[in-house]
Structure 1
Amino acid sequence: MHKLLYCSTQSGYSAQLGDGVISQELDGGAPRFRRALKGSYHTASVQWVVQEEGYQYLMAFYRVWARNPSQRFLAKLCIDSPVVEDYQCYFSGSPRLTSKEAGIYTVTAEFRVKPLNTDPNLDNSIVNAGDKGVDLNDLTNPLEILVNESLPKAVGKL
């Protein structure tokens, strides 16, 4: 599996989560929602700002993928969590050269992205903590609390 060398710029990045939820409009009332598919693919719009060699690499990467478009490739993205991770992707259409100024090329593309496995128990814990008014930083950064609060209290003044 090929791995895309470049990460997308943050300013030209967006993602649409694949939810697998179907809604059905009802006459005179709220729509009905139901879970239809598990593991629906995400869509990511990405952008790179590169020099000539980077542009040549991106176009070559696309052409190599297009010879066998059923093969996924890896790209570093931030979709299912705040961490940038390797995702398995396909191109959705071809990349676009959106601007060229001197030796700087701006390239955009859209990916279809296989979602990562997420922990439903962790999701439930985060949402339940939010429902109880817990500061979510306390959940996601316990080392900060341990080092800066718990340890000094346990050791006392030296």
Structure 2
Amino acid sequence: MHKLLYCVTQSGYSAKIGDGVISQDLEGGAPRHRRALKGTYHTASIQWVVQKKGYQYLMAFYRVWARNPSQRFLARLCIDGPDVEDYQCYFSGTPTLSSKEANVYTVTAELRVKPLNVDSNLDELIVTAGDDGIDLNELWNPLEKLVNESLPDALENL
């Protein structure tokens, strides 16, 4: 599986999360929602700003992929969580040269992205903590609280 070397720019980057939820409008009431599919693909609109050799690489990468378009490739994206991770992708359509100024090329593309496996227990924990009014930073920084608050309080009596 090929791996795209360039990370996309943070500006001009968006993702539509695939949810697999079907909504049905009902007359005179709220719509009905139901889960229809699991693991539906995301759609990412991305952009690269590169120089001449970078543009040549991106176009070559696309042409190599297009010879076998059922083959996924890896790209570093931020979709299912806050971290940039490797995702398996396909191009959806062809990349577009959006602008060229001197030796700077702006290339945009749309990718179909396979979602990562997420921890549903962690999702439940995060949402429940938010429902209970817990500061979400406390969930991720327990060591900081232990070292800066609990330990000094415990040593206070010694």
Fold equivalence (TM over 0.5): yes
How far apart in 1 are the matches of 2:138 and 2:65? 43
1:33 is aligned with what amino acid? Answer: H
Q: Alignment RMSD, CA only?
A: 1.5
Correspondence for 1:75:
75
Correspondence for 1:16:
16
Correspondence for 2:55:
55
Correspondence for 1:85:
85
Correspondence for 2:118:
118
Offset from partner CA, 1:45-103 (integer Å, 9 cap, x none)? 11010000000000000000000000000000000010100000000001000000000
After superposition, where does 1:1-158 map in structure 2 within 5 Å?
1-156=1-156
SS in 2 for 1:8: coil
Shift of 1:12: 1.4
How far apart in 2 are the matches of 1:85 and 1:31? 35
1:57 is aligned with what amino acid? Answer: Y
Q: TM-score, normalised by structure 2?
A: 0.95
1:67 is aligned with what amino acid? Answer: R
Shift of 1:13: 0.7
Q: TM-score, normalised by structure 1?
A: 0.95
1:49 is aligned with what amino acid? Answer: V
* Structure 1 residues without counterparts, runs of 5 or longer: none
How far apart in 2 are the matches of 1:111 and 1:92? 5
SS in 2 for 1:63: helix
Q: What stretches of structure 1 move > 4 A for 4+ residues in a row?
A: none
Total equivalences in the alignment: 158
How far apart in 2 are the matches of 1:66 and 1:119? 33
* Structure 2 residues without counterparts, runs of 5 or longer: none
Shift of 1:113: 0.3
Shift of 1:140: 1.9
How far apart in 2 are the matches of 1:151 and 1:7? 42
SS in 2 for 1:76: strand
How far apart in 2 are the matches of 1:77 and 1:6? 10
How far apart in 1 are the matches of 2:136 and 2:44? 26
Farther off after superposition, 142-151 or 94-103:
142-151
